[in-house]
Chain A
Amino acid sequence: MDLMHEFSIASSLVDTLMEFAEKDDLKGKLLEVHLRIGKLRAISIEQLKFSYKVLAKGQFLNGSKLIVEETPAIIHCPECGLKKDFELVDDSYHFGLPTLSCPRCDAPVNLEGGDAVVITKVRIRGTRSKK
Chain B
Amino acid sequence: MMGKQTDVITSSGDEVFDIELEADILKANRELALENHAKLKQNGITAIDVMGSVGSGKTSIIKAMVSVLKKNHRIAVIEGDVTTTIDADIIAAEGIPTVQVNTGKECHLDANLIKKALTRMRLSELDLIFIENVGNLICPAEFPLGSDKRLVVISVTEGPYMVVKHPMMFYEADSVAINKVDLADAMGVKPSKLHEDISRINPEAKVVSTDCRNNLGITEVIRSLGFTDA
Contacts and interface: CB of A to CB of B under 8 A. Distances in A.
Is this pair of chains taken from one and the same complex?
yes
Interface of A: 1, 3-5, 7-9, 12-13, 15-16, 20, 24, 28, 31, 35, 40-43, 91, 93, 95, 97-101, 107-108, 111, 116-128
Contacts of A9: 25-26, 142
A5 to B, nearest CB: 4
B143 interface: yes
A127 B13 contact: yes
B22 interface: yes
Interface string B130-150: 000000101101110000000
Interface string B16-43: 1111111111101100000000000000
Contacts of B62: none
B71 interface: no
B92 interface: no
Given A42-B141, A42-B168, A128-B11, A108 B204 contact: yes
A125 B204 contact: no
A5 B108 contact: yes
Interface residues of B, number: 41
Contacts, number: 115
A100 B142 contact: no
Nearest to A118: B24
**Most-contacted residue by chain A among B23, B29, B138, B164 (CB, 10 A):** B23
A124 B16 contact: yes
Contact of B25 (A1, A12, A121, A128): A12
B26 A123 contact: no
A20 B21 contact: yes
B108 A124 contact: no
B203 A121 contact: no
Contact of B17 (A12, A41, A120, A123): A123
Nearest to A124: B17
